[in-house]
Structure 1
Amino acid sequence: MARSLITSDPDARPEHFRNLFEECLFVFMVMMATASTTFLQGVVVINTATIARDLIMTPAQVTWISAAIGLASGSFMLFFGKTADLIGRKLQLLAGMAFLSVTSLATAFVSSPIGLNVLCGFLGLGTAVISPPAVGTLFATYPEGQRRNKATGALGCGNPIGFILGSVSSGIVTKYFSWRASFIVVAIFFAIITVSSFWTMPPTPRAGSLCSEAKQFDYLGTVLTILGFALVSAALTEAPELGWQSLQVVMMFLFGFICLVGFATWENYYPFPLLNPVVWKNKTYTLCVLCVFFGYMSFITNLFWISLYMQDVQHLSPLHIAVQLLPQAFVGFIWSYIGQALVSKIPGKIIMGIGAMAYLVGAALQIFVRQDTSYWMILFPSLCITVIGADFQFIVSNLYISKQMPTQSSLAAGVLQTVMRVSISIGLAISAAVYGSVAQTPKGREDVNLPFERAYLCSLMFAVVGLLFVPFMKIE
């Protein structure tokens, strides 16, 4: 029989764990589950040019390598957040981990651009499966207290650690073997995590009736939101090649917009909505979500385009690129703990503002990157500054949710995670449209830096928009 999840002493080790090693392994598993999207981005972002040359991909198809992961993850996050309590958190987590392992292995043997984009979408789907049950189990295992604070604090370090593991392992394997071998390593990694999760993850009872929940589930809302974001993203990425006035692009924009408007309308009338509109009644929360959406959009597009620039223009190897991006992950780890220390001393509004300014300054610096630009003068400070925004805004937003929205914390946190993942696909789609349009002009063909400059400018504008929401927040 399973041991009790929660001990009587909130600061003692939960009784499920026999020793500190099991407990640390469990926390690491939860951390990697929440950072799985970033981990996969680290794997693919330093290999985009290598993959593109091998599979003869168009610029739009290259963009979808990363965008498909974010779009699928964000679109299905709320769905799998609801299924976790119905089918069992441990069962869903193990199934998701195994699915990621198998899909990663299949990706290593893909032979076409479309096949790769589809499999990247399935990888994003897998990350949406594992994140909700992992976080839910952590909060069910630890009662309020210092031990829970330490465990949840580790989650803030997940994204930088995930990116380090993904990019460095991918860079090393690609250098000595090929980009395909990096996905085999990913498959092995998720297989190991699956076994570890089976051993360390506490079983939790199912909640609710599967049959009744299946009848009440918002199927139409799920379909509308997935189709809406997918069609708009596809239209943006394909427009530079097909033409902005082409029938295919116009129809994708039109139907995507109709789906998103239909989703917003439907959620206000359906009695069991996928995204309960009540969460938006908290104005500060809404502003936080918008700020995080545009800020993270700036962060991801910066990372994608500078990585592609180092591959296409500077002709650096994947391992060299991973090493150059590594400081951002290490510094992000440090900023995460600094942010956790600051929230008890400085108003959250100021910390959100610092994060928004960090996004803006980092994006502005990146515009000046050239082939012969000193790494230490421009790119290094840009990487170290930009990650402040990702860490600080993540910490403050989640803290606000836990303290000011206790009755809606699960929904609000799920929406925040969804928004961060959807911002990846939307941001890459917009910047790819700008990049592709400029690259096809005479000036873009003559000056290889110009299309990248315009893509960096998109990141800067995203950061500016995110900053505009900060003055209206009320976070102590």
Structure 2
Amino acid sequence: MAANVEAQLKDPEYDTQVHQVRDPNARPEAFKSTFQEVLCVIVVCLAVATSSIPEGSFQTSLTNLANSFEVNGGQLVWSVSSIVLSSGSFLLIGGKLTDCFGRRRVMLFCFSGFTLASLVAGFMKNFIGLVILRAVEGLFFAPLIPAGAGLIGSLYKESRRRNVAFAVFSSGGAIGYIAGLLIGGVSVTAFSWREVQFFTAIFFGAVTIVAYFVVPKDKPLDKITVKQTLLKLDYLGSFLILSAFALISFSLTQVDAAKRRWHTPYIYSLLIVGIFLLGVFILVELYVAHDPIMPMQLWKNNNFVLSMVVASLTWVTFIGCLGYYPMLYFQDIKNWGALHTALAAMPMGVSGIFTNLFVAVSFHVISGKIMLIGGNLCILGASIIWATMGYHRNYWLGPFWGYILSAVACDITYNVCTMVTMSAVDVKDQGSAAGVFNTILQLVTVVGLSLGSVLISARDPYYGKSEQNLYPELLFYGIRNVFYLAIGFSGAALIISFFVNVGTSGSAKALNKEEPCQER
């Protein structure tokens, strides 16, 4: 009895004044007021938006960008995939840095760096320079996602309040995408793609200032701790994962630019080397690295492995197939302007926001397994809509519903699988776990974009050449090949989701369990 009382008194969740365990749905003590809590969660939400704002804004800027630098096909893909590739490659070490140096410090540094890189990118006068600066942007926003997820995971116990916080965090993708579409559409229509970068820099400069005042402070660090942390970082693993996916992506996206395509020696050689380095990375993480950037205990959790597969297939469908290539359809085939294209894609962002709200208020009642099955039914439906679309199909009968269904699937999957990931590791490793989860999603997106370029090239011999837009019908049927691939990915995700064992989160029954997010 005395031992139990002593254990309770040492528990930070035990209130010594009222002699009872604190309500897990109460405001975390790290926040001095509800106003600070709300602003902090919004800032964390905008940390996710740093990835989707550039995505949405540049997708509506594709035609303007192509005309400005005279690039097309796989080369144009690099304006989008470079930022995804660099962020995906740096997420693992970024997650490690957030756990070691403190989430607030990392967030402030990365917000500032992202702001500066966005500003400089607006002044680039050649395409390669722009791609490099976009990659630098990705390096800075990569740690923001695990920092945000780790911050919420460490501040909130499993509860409905935590569900709401994670839902707001996850909605950053949808909110950022809407903002990106509007920024890109208006900026390109009135000015050019450069103003997209300038506006982004101004906005995140303001976010940096707000974050300084509302994000809870980290524990003090000393020079010895910093030095030890830097020495222990898995630089070899980081280099291998970056090199592997850079080579794989480059070889796939350059197929259409090479005269002999797959018969070009450097194309298949780099692809083979990239796959080899990926295998070496796995071996290094398992047997060589003393402090691996990928927490290997994650892969011992069956729910995490299955949910990661489902999330990857859903993400490569949503971003890699149904995100970028419909923009080519609107701008290069339908000849719609940037603002018109932005408005056409807007239902996807709005649907994503409402989906996150739905998850926030229902995750304590509806099991994650049911949500995953329903979500992947939606993205399978979206893939079928796009794949069966005729050349002159009405927007309201096709793309409109395809956008809505795909966003529902993406945000449900992201919410559920993020919760599973956070529940699979200790609090101290939550930043690293979020880094692993988001790294895989970013990198499969690059693979999806690259495979899409290969499939279009197989059908359209003019793709990536100056004559590309002279044969819109060939381009249309080439893009439809990508949508057939999306059906395969989303169908596989639906089948695997039946085997994921994820229950409710935040219910009264769940709070009495030791392991959250298990089937109940």
* Same fold by TM-score greater than 0.5: yes
Q: How does 1:259-298 map onto structure 2 within 5 Å? A: 259-270=277-288, 271-298=290-317
2:63 alignment partner in structure 1 = 49
User: What per-residue deviation string (whole Å, max 9, x for no partner) do you get for residues 215-258 of structure 1?
Assistant: 22211111111100110011000112211121211221121112
- For 1:16 and 1:340, locate their aligned partners in 2 and report how far apart those are by CA, in whole Å: 22
2:51 alignment partner in structure 1 = 37
User: What per-residue deviation string (whole Å, max 9, x for no partner) do you get for residues 296-336 of structure 1?
Assistant: 10001211111111011111111111111111111111122
- For 2:326 and 2:250, locate their aligned partners in 1 and report how far apart those are by CA, in whole Å: 22
Check if 1:352 corresponds to 2:354: no
- For 2:13 and 2:194, locate their aligned partners in 1 and report how far apart those are by CA, in whole Å: 43
2:5 alignment partner in structure 1 = none
Query: For residue 240 of structure 2, what is the amino acid of its counterpart?
Result: L
Answer whether contact 1:268 1:277 (CA < 8 A) is retained: yes
Query: For residue 309 of structure 2, what is the amino acid of its counterpart?
Result: L
1:157 alignment partner in structure 2 = 171
- Say which of 238, 245, 266 aligns to 1:229: 245
- Give the paired residue count: 471
- For 2:296 and 2:28, locate their aligned partners in 1 and report how far apart those are by CA, in whole Å: 36
Answer whether contact 1:7 1:14 (CA < 8 A) is retained: no
User: What per-residue deviation string (whole Å, max 9, x for no partner) do you get for residues 154-179 of structure 1?
Assistant: 11321111111111122112211211
How far does residue 20 in structure 1 lie from its aligned partner after superposition? 4.4
1:246 alignment partner in structure 2 = 264
Answer whether contact 1:217 1:272 (CA < 8 A) is retained: yes
Answer whether contact 1:61 1:117 (CA < 8 A) is retained: no
Query: For residue 315 of structure 2, what is the amino acid of its counterpart?
Result: Y
1:67 alignment partner in structure 2 = 81
Answer whether contact 1:87 1:206 (CA < 8 A) is retained: no
Check if 1:429 corresponds to 2:450: yes
Identity of aligned residues (%): 25
- For 2:154 and 2:501, locate their aligned partners in 1 and report how far apart those are by CA, in whole Å: 30
Q: In structure 1, the residue corresponding to 2:334 is in which secondary structure?
A: coil
2:492 alignment partner in structure 1 = 465
User: What per-residue deviation string (whole Å, max 9, x for no partner) do you get for residues 342-365 of structure 1?
Assistant: 433343223212222211110110
- Say which of 379, 383, 399 aligns to 1:379: 399
Answer whether contact 1:86 1:206 (CA < 8 A) is retained: no
User: What per-residue deviation string (whole Å, max 9, x for no partner) do you get for residues 286-305 of structure 1?
Assistant: 11111111111000121111
- For 1:18 and 1:345, locate their aligned partners in 2 and report how far apart those are by CA, in whole Å: 30
TM-score by length of 2: 0.84
Q: In structure 1, the residue corresponding to 2:293 is in which secondary structure?
A: coil
| CA root-mean-square deviation | 2.5
Q: Which runs of 5+ in 1 are unaligned?
A: none
How far does residue 19 in structure 1 lie from its aligned partner after superposition? 4.9
- For 1:51 and 1:261, locate their aligned partners in 2 and report how far apart those are by CA, in whole Å: 36
Query: For residue 455 of structure 1, what is the amino acid of its counterpart?
Result: V
Check if 1:113 corresponds to 2:122: no
How far does residue 405 in structure 1 lie from its aligned partner after superposition? 4.8
User: What per-residue deviation string (whole Å, max 9, x for no partner) do you get for residues 103-157 of structure 1?
Assistant: 1112112122211211111111111132233333344444555544432231132
- For 1:16 and 1:184, locate their aligned partners in 2 and report how far apart those are by CA, in whole Å: 34
How far does residue 447 in structure 1 lie from its aligned partner after superposition? 2.9
- For 1:471 and 1:150, locate their aligned partners in 2 and report how far apart those are by CA, in whole Å: 25
- For 1:361 and 1:143, locate their aligned partners in 2 and report how far apart those are by CA, in whole Å: 36
- For 1:65 and 1:368, locate their aligned partners in 2 and report how far apart those are by CA, in whole Å: 28
2:219 alignment partner in structure 1 = 205
Q: In structure 2, the residue corresponding to 1:268 is in which secondary structure?
A: helix
Query: For residue 286 of structure 1, what is the amino acid of its counterpart?
Result: V
Q: Which runs of 5+ in 2 are unaligned?
A: 1-11, 16-21, 503-518
Q: 1:215 to 1:17 in 2, by over 3 A?
A: closer
Q: How does 1:268-347 map onto structure 2 within 5 Å? A: 268-270=286-288, 271-300=290-319, 301-347=321-367
- For 1:225 and 1:204, locate their aligned partners in 2 and report how far apart those are by CA, in whole Å: 29
Q: 1:241 to 1:158 in 2, by over 3 A?
A: same
- Higher Cα radius of gyration: 2
Query: For residue 219 of structure 1, what is the amino acid of its counterpart?
Result: Y
User: What per-residue deviation string (whole Å, max 9, x for no partner) do you get for residues 260-282 of structure 1?
Assistant: 01111111112322213332122
- For 1:77 and 1:404, locate their aligned partners in 2 and report how far apart those are by CA, in whole Å: 18
Q: 1:17 to 1:472 in 2, by over 3 A?
A: closer
